[in-house]
């Protein structure tokens, strides 16, 4: 009888131990709330993580803890790798293209007083001041800024417009071709009219000379001593002048 009691006590103890073990296993695998880590503790180990491919950890702002999650909206995100994204440095911006120099407003078309001796309808070019005047009535003239002959290429005289042309072709004189070749620049024998043509949108030919009043593909040169003797205007200005004068108009170059 005593032997049976001992066996029953052992079985009861084993059952109790098994129940306790099962309860412990259930406690181990049940869902638990996430561990909360203070931001100050996060920084030390997060900064030791290898950055995902193509991502650079932003060390410029160490006072801000890094956080897993989407990158800031102001920056272009790298391709998704399936891993947590971290703050990253945006690539350096490409330098802006250099803008052409602005034209001095004094060389923009305007109506000014004129007290010279030339009759209305005459074109007067003041090479020294880089202005072209279309003489009007009542002591007024329409003034345009121009580019004129560079040192050694200036000239003066009186001619009449012998021809007008829209989007003229350009045939450089033999002397110009030879001169530029000596500088290492090869000019074309002829260039059809168009936006790239140095004669621009319009040309007014002066007598039987090689000189013209014409447009340009380099408007920032207006107001300078820059040409080989021709009178250079902005395209919009030479188009305006072209419509105001006719073949036979007198042109005085000072």
Which amino acids are annotated catalytic?
214, 230
d(CA 114, CA 251): 16
Listed residue (142, 246, 164, 248) closest to 213, CA to CA: 164
The C-alpha atoms of residue 159 and residue 162 are separated, in whole angstroms, by: 9
Q: In Å, what is the CA distance from 2 to each residue of 8, 152, 249? A: 10, 137, 144
Where do we find the tokens 């306790």?
Answer: 20
Q: Taking Cα atoms as reference points, which of 129, 152, 161 lies closest to residue 252? A: 161
Phi/psi region, residue 69 (left: phi>0; alpha: psi -120 to 50; beta: rest), is left
CA–CA separation, 156 and 126 (whole Å):
9
9: Cβ contacts below 8 Å, ≥ 6 apart:
none
HSE-up of 233 (CA within 13 Å, CB side)?
25
Q: What gap in Å lies between CA 232 and CA 147, rounded to an integer? A: 5
């Amino acid at each position: 009888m005593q032997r049976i009691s001992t066996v029953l006590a052992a079985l009861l103890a084993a059952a109790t131990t098994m129940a306790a073990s099962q309860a412990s296993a259930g406690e181990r695998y049940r869902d638990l709330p996430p561990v909360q880590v203070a931001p100050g503790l996060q920084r030390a180990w997060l900064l030791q993580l290898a950055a995902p491919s193509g991502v650079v950890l932003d060390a410029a702002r160490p006072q801000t803890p890094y956080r897993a999650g989407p990158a800031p909206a102001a920056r272009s995100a790298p391709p998704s790798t399936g891993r947590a994204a971290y703050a990253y440095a945006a690539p350096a911006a490409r330098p802006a293209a250099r803008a052409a120099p602005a034209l001095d407003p004094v060389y923009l078309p305007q109506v000014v007083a004129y007290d010279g001796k030339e009759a209305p309808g005459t074109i007067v070019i003041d090479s020294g001041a880089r202005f072209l005047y279309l003489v009007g009535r009542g002591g007024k003239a329409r003034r345009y800024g121009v580019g004129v002959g560079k040192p050694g290429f200036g000239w003066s005289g009186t001619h009449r417009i012998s021809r007008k042309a829209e989007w003229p072709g350009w045939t450089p004189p033999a002397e110009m071709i030879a001169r530029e070749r000596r500088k290492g620049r090869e000019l074309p024998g002829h260039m059809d009219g168009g936006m790239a043509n140095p004669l621009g949108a319009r040309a007014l030919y002066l007598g039987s000379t090689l000189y013209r009043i014409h447009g340009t593909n380099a408007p920032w040169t207006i107001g300078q001593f820059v040409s080989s003797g021709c009178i250079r205007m902005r395209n919009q200005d030479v188009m305006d002048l072209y419509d105001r004068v006719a073949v036979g108009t007198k042109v005085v170059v000072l």
